[in-house]
A = this chain, B = another copy of it.
């Protein structure tokens, strides 16, 4: 996988995630259930905010994460679609 470098700095507890292509089996053996296949719920963290007051961030750049199906807002950076979401929208790190 190529390096993920973006110049965007998320505010507070937000993270930018590059959604994985909708695939049946991932490297770590995670399979997105059928009902969710049309919109991937797995992705790679590419940018992380500084956290909220007294609450540092848990995820870091390059973490593979699972996130809620309707999490985040879409933004497009240099032709690629990303999602910007709050860390609380991320349910697990693979």
Interface residues of A (CB under 8 A from B): 7-12, 14, 16, 28-33, 35, 47, 50, 53-55, 58-59, 66, 68-69, 73-79, 81, 84, 87-88, 90-94
- B78 with A31: CB separation less than 8 A: yes
Give A91's nearest chain B residue, CB to CB.
B84
**A11-B58, A11-B59, A58-B11 as given contacts; A91 in contact with B73, CB under 8 Å:** yes
Number of copies of chain A assembled together: 7
* CB-defined contacts of A33 to chain B, threshold 8 Å: 74-76, 81
Asked if B75 contacts A10 (CB within 8 A), the reply is: no
> Residue among A16, A66, A76, A88 with the most chain B CB within 10 A?
A76
Further 11 A-B residue pairs, CB within 8 A, beyond A9-B93, A32-B76, A33-B74: A7-B28, A7-B94, A11-B58, A11-B92, A11-B93, A12-B58, A29-B77, A47-B92, A66-B75, A66-B84, A68-B73
